[in-house]
Amino acid sequence: MSKKEKLIKRLLSRPKDFTFDEMVTLLGYLDYYQHSTGKTAGSRVVFINGGKQYLKFHKPHPGNELNPNTLSDVIEYLKGQGLL
């Protein structure tokens, strides 16, 4: 099983300790890149795929674990795009 497949399996299990770094890695495997939104964006991050599809959510702070609602939103979005 590849690292990409392992991360997808882990994401779909909705763990409470899924980190922002893991999400960045997974989205990179799916050809998304983190777009710089400027210094006034605060904790909001944007990931873009080919300039047409984008995914926005809040970067966790002070910790690194993503909120369960964020995980659900990302899973729903990626399923809607046919990536999961």
Rounded CA gap, 41 and 39, in Å? Answer: 6
- For residues 74-83, average pLDDT: 91
Tokens of 11: 């994401």
Task: For residue 20, give every residue at least 6 positions away whose Cβ sits within 8 Å of its Cβ, in sequence order, or none.
Answer: 59, 60, 64, 65, 66
Q: Is the pLDDT of residue 43 over 80?
A: no
pTM: predicted TM-score of the whole model, two decimal places: 0.84
Question: Per-residue confidence at 26, pLDDT binned at 50, 70, 90?
Answer: very high
Residue 58 backbone phi and psi in degrees, to 5: -90, 135
Residue 7: helix, strand or coil by DSSP?
helix
In the chain, domain spans = 3-80
